[in-house]
Amino acid sequence: MGWIGKVIGGIAGLLLAEAPGAVLGAILGHGFDHGLRAFRRDGSLSRQERERVQAAFRAVTFSTMGHIAKADGRVSEAEIAMAEAAMARLRFSAEKRRQAIAEFKRGKAPDFVLAEALTTFWRDCRGNAGLLEMFLRLQLQAAYADGVPSPAQRQLLNQVRRALRIPESEFDQLEQMIRVERENTSEKAGARGKKKSRRAGQQPDSGVLTLAQAYALLGVKPNDSDAVIKRAYRRLRSQHHPDKLVARGLPEEMLKLATEKTQQIRQAYERIQQARAA
């Protein structure tokens, strides 16, 4: 595809101005080719490309997950349960589950080279921010399965961040979101336990985001203007739109995770709007 624009441009220039025009046309054609490649990176993938990226996403997700779990010397029951829960939540078929387990074990092996796997993955994803964030999100959830990540796990997470070319500020924002999710999950679990001994209506709704959590989810600050917050909301909503992510290579079984993410983004924005209107 990289020669189409040059040829067309060269021919057009030659017809218009002979040799000098051919040179100019080729230069313009090169710009066209560059723009075409950029368009393909930002647009939907062909079916074959999408299937290849989806396969790579599944494989690297669980091999990296296994590698991070083994980083502190042993894989805990909580980390295994987290990986199994992820497979169940994604509704993997028996074959995909078998492949995921094999990749998880491969990631634990001493000869697994994380750098090579991440380099290939980044190239396959073409640097798509939504896919890379979804991947990093799953790795952070794995690292937090036992609580706060160990120093060895923290080192690997930073390696993942650098390999995927994710800015440190965005990594910190995403990690904060994972912490918020864990807090909400813990609160809901506690509320369910207390509900048996309390009348309905006496227990606060633990599923509602606090204002601080809402700001953290959108990656904005309380003193930011309404316009800044609205831009952040729209950017995140567009970046994590489930249909766009699937079209660019997110495995379809992970569509539910992407949908939940967009719901969280919307809830955070609505929570901030409510607070500012009060």
CATH assignment of the domain containing 276: 1.10.287.110
235 pLDDT higher than 70 = yes
Same domain? 56 vs 168: yes
79-94 pLDDT, tens digit each:
888 888 888 877 788 9
Same domain? 92 vs 28: no
**Type of residue at 120:** T
252 pLDDT higher than 80 = no
83 touches 65 (CB < 8 A): yes
Q: What angle do CA 230, 234, 239 make, to 5 degrees?
A: 150
State the residue range of the domain holding 75: 47-174
Where does the pLDDT of residue 237 fall: very low under 50, low under 70, confident under 90, or very high at 90 and above? confident
Same domain? 57 vs 165: yes
In a domain, 183, yes or no: no
Mean pLDDT across the stretch 235-261?
A: 67
Where does the pLDDT of residue 253 fall: very low under 50, low under 70, confident under 90, or very high at 90 and above? low
Same domain? 53 vs 112: yes
Q: How far apart are CA 263 and CA 8, in angstroms?
A: 46
Q: What is the tally of structural domains in the chain?
A: 3
221 pLDDT higher than 70 = yes
What is residue 197's DSSP assignment?
Answer: T
In a domain, 180, yes or no: no
**Tokens describing residue 40:** 């393909």
Same domain? 84 vs 144: yes
Same domain? 222 vs 258: yes
Mean pLDDT across the stretch 211-234?
A: 88
In a domain, 181, yes or no: no
Q: How far apart are CA 203 and CA 87, in angstroms?
A: 32
C-alpha separations of 31 from 11, 26, 172, 200 in Å: 15, 9, 37, 65
Same domain? 30 vs 53: no
- Given the structure tokens 């509900």, which residue do they identify? 195
Where does the pLDDT of residue 159 fall: very low under 50, low under 70, confident under 90, or very high at 90 and above? very high
pLDDT of residue 2: 47
In a domain, 194, yes or no: no
